[in-house]
A and B are shown apart, each in its own frame.
Chain A
Amino acid sequence: RKEVEQDPGPFNVPEGATVAFNCTYSNSASQSFFWYRQDCRKEPKLLMSVYSSGNEDGRFTAQLNRASQYISLLIRDSKLSDSATYLCVVNILIQGAQKLVFGQGTRLTINP
């Protein structure tokens, strides 16, 4: 089983729609969680951290369920500029050393 698994996608949704991505992780020792965004031929950039209580940043909401080892990202009122690949990232602490593990990514296209 992969350490981090995401919805395979691709997602094609109309502008203004709400879209949700899911991600599961296998290591219960995982300490911190992130969503990154990667545009075509660019480097990944942090979109938002994911906190246990859930957190919101404008149109974006991230949720964490430690019991189910599950992370989600919700995008409301999607914009054309939201088109990108979204990467679920889990920071695993093993024997005192951290390891950032990325999911394969989910490609999102917002259509006008």
Chain B
Amino acid sequence: GENVEQHPSTLSVQEGDSAVIKCTYSDSASNYFPWYKQELGKGPQLIIDIRSNVGEKKDQRIAVTLNKTAKHFSLHITETQPEDSAVYFCAATDSWGKLQFGAGTQVVVTP
């Protein structure tokens, strides 16, 4: 089955700097890769997603890149702000179309 690995597990950045989170997946049939942000005490919320026919997607300060050959995808947050502090999860669909999640990255943005 699909296995998604996510690194790093914690990331501390200075406000205004960039943050990068990387994920790898194992199932070559995976074709949908969403990223979720989870604030304390709340459910995960989709922030951006990418499908396998696209290499990069950007939405304001957030961008995601996908390398299907290497089976890895990354989340980039530029000009980080304190409200970006949260846990971020990557995910990939398995052969049955179900999502497999990474273990999460705790991002802390310090003023």
Please indicate whether A and B come from the same complex rather than being unrelated chains.
no
